Amino acid sequence: MSDINQYLSEASRELLSDRVEALDLEMLRVVDGAIFPLVLSPREGELTDPTECHAWFAAHGETLREALRDHGTIFFRGFSLRGAEDFEGAIDQAQFKEMPYVGGAAPRAVVTARRILTANESPPDQPIPFHHEMAQVPNPPGYVFFYCEIAPEEGGSTPIVHSHRVYQRFRAINEDFCQKLEEVGVRYVRVMPSEDDPTSPIGRSWRATFQVSAEDAVEARRIAEQKMKEAGTEWRWLEGDELHTITATVPAIRVDPRTQKSTFFNSAVAAYTGWADQRNDPTRAVRCGDDSPVDGEVLLATAEAMKEERVAIPWREGDMMWIDNQLTMHSRQPYRGARRILAAIAPQQELNRA
């Protein structure tokens, strides 16, 4: 890229100084005049310990949220963050609010007592399709955070794609189907096990999904049913204590109120191509909001368009990626060797500076 500075927003320029610079990596893209993603790194000899890093995040929390809005994603490389507590501290110091992981499908492990989990722990040979985090629930998170504790030996990156570009490609593939989803939204169908299934990319149990800790079976079901009722989810219990769910209708296309950009904000492609295990048929995992079937050929073509638009930065230990979940979709490549990516979420926050 000839001059990365011309693709930086006003907020992202405020983050740059004699301590921090923007990196120009060859795989970066330009979306609507802005670099995607923004990659930040300390200059040589700067921010060399976690305390200095946390102070920097504390001083720039609001500006970082603005830069996330402008660029969709910020990738941090070379910051001296050495594990889960340092990762959590960076998020805390930037004043991102806590949010429980309720309603997600991915199997995960708790890492810290408050907000850090592992990323999706499905088998390493299985790719995870592009998706907005928890797009199938009424109130998805505003932000998703990732931290690389152990880098994979091969593969295992977390590719991202700008959802506005996906919307443009989706509309160009089939304008009529795009218009229909804009009007009627989508619903998701999933069968959940009673205990986490680590062999499945959507193997999170209904107990973990709805954060049910009661040991009594009757009470556990009552708590889960109350949470499903509040979310507008339809359900029925199956043999083996499995749970069949159909979500309330949720939007498939959203207009981000901050940017006025239309986004492909749904899990339709992810569900249709990736929600597969011994309990679930992915071709039945998503339906239009009026309960008519989706156009599978269009979703498969959109999946190919996502691959063409993606940015995949290989993980290094200590890397961190912050995603504006309203604007960016993420995925996971298959990998070999050990890999440990940590994750957290936060609700959308209003910016103090419009």
The confidence score (pLDDT) of residue 126 equals 86
Chain centroid to CA 135: how far? 9
The confidence score (pLDDT) of residue 225 equals 97
Instruction: Tell me which DSSP letter residue 311 carries.
Output: B
Q: Please, which residues have CB within 8 angstroms of residue 161's CB and are 6 or more apart in sequence?
A: 130, 306, 309, 310, 311, 328, 329, 331
According to DSSP H, which parts of the chain are helical?
A: 10-15, 50-59, 61-71, 84-93, 163-173, 175-184, 206-209, 217-231, 268-274, 296-309
Q: With contact defined as beta carbons under 8 Å apart, do 324 and 309 qualify?
A: no
The confidence score (pLDDT) of residue 174 equals 98
175: left (phi over 0), alpha (psi -120 to 50) or beta: alpha
Work out the end-to-end distance of the chain between its first and last CA atoms, rounded to an integer number of angstroms. 30
Alpha carbon distance 198, 108 (integer Å) = 9
> What are the residues facing 186 on neighbouring strands?
250, 288
Alpha carbon distance 24, 4 (integer Å) = 7
> What are the residues facing 144 on neighbouring strands?
323, 345
Give the residue among 153, 126, 146 at the shortest CA–CA distance from 319.
Answer: 146
Q: Nearest 5 degrees, angle CA 354-CA 322-CA 67?
A: 30
Mean pLDDT per block of 10 residues along the chain (354 residues) reads: 85 96 95 96 96 97 97 97 96 94 71 86 86 86 96 96 97 98 96 92 90 92 96 96 96 93 94 93 96 97 97 97 97 94 93 66
- For residue 178, the tally of other CB atoms under 10 A from its CB is 22
Q: Which two tokens stand for residue 44?
A: 């040589």
Q: With contact defined as beta carbons under 8 Å apart, do 73 and 163 qualify?
A: no
> What are the residues facing 73 on neighbouring strands?
323
* Domains by residue range for the chain, with CATH: 4-161+311-346 (3.60.130.10), 164-306 (3.60.130.10)
Give the residue among 286, 279, 211 at the shortest CA–CA distance from 241.
Answer: 279
Alpha carbon distance 178, 296 (integer Å) = 13
Q: Which amino acid is at 14?
A: E
The confidence score (pLDDT) of residue 198 equals 85
E-only strand ranges, the chain = 20-22, 29-31, 34-36, 38-42, 73-76, 117-118, 128-131, 143-150, 154-155, 160-162, 186-192, 234-237, 243-246, 254-255, 262-263, 286-288, 320-324, 328-332, 335-336, 340-346
Q: Which amino acid is at 1?
A: M
Q: With contact defined as beta carbons under 8 Å apart, do 268 and 165 qualify?
A: no
Alpha carbon distance 219, 156 (integer Å) = 40
Alpha carbon distance 222, 106 (integer Å) = 23
Interhelix angle 84-93/50-59, rounded to 10 degrees, is: 20
Alpha carbon distance 253, 268 (integer Å) = 11
